[in-house]
Structure 1
């Protein structure tokens, strides 16, 4: 399954929607996504499962790359 992770670069600043970034990651569950990202110094706002037509739409975007 592919998840889209919305995040902020800083753990120490108040989240601002205009500064929210996103990347894509493959995992079996949201829990696994969090385990894979636990060593990164980012503030995770939201983890969204992508499937069906929404996944196909996201794959067409030029910034669609799976992060390891």
Structure 2
């Protein structure tokens, strides 16, 4: 399952929409909730990021991301 994580690069400043970034992770999980939990845990352990939102990408959304050229899986 591919998850898109929206985040701020630091927890020290107030979040600003203009500074929101995103990364994509491939998480092995039995269901969506387990995947979200694993994704959050992984990002919190490996980065100083302030997570805003975690989204499971549907097949259509994933295809769009790949076509847009902005899609890249991140390894943590």
**Alignment length (residue pairs):** 68
**Aligned residues: CA RMSD:** 1.0
Tell me, which stretches of 5 or more residues in structure 1 are unaligned? none
Q: Which secondary structure state, in structure 2, belongs to the residue aligned with residue 48 of structure 1?
A: strand
Tell me, which stretches of 5 or more residues in structure 2 are unaligned? 30-34
Higher helix share: 2
1:26 correspondence with 2:33? no
Alpha-carbon distance in structure 2 between the residues aligned to 1:64 and 1:23: 9
2:43 equivalent in structure 1: 37
Q: TM-score, normalised by structure 2?
A: 0.82
1:8 equivalent in structure 2: 8
1:59 equivalent in structure 2: 66
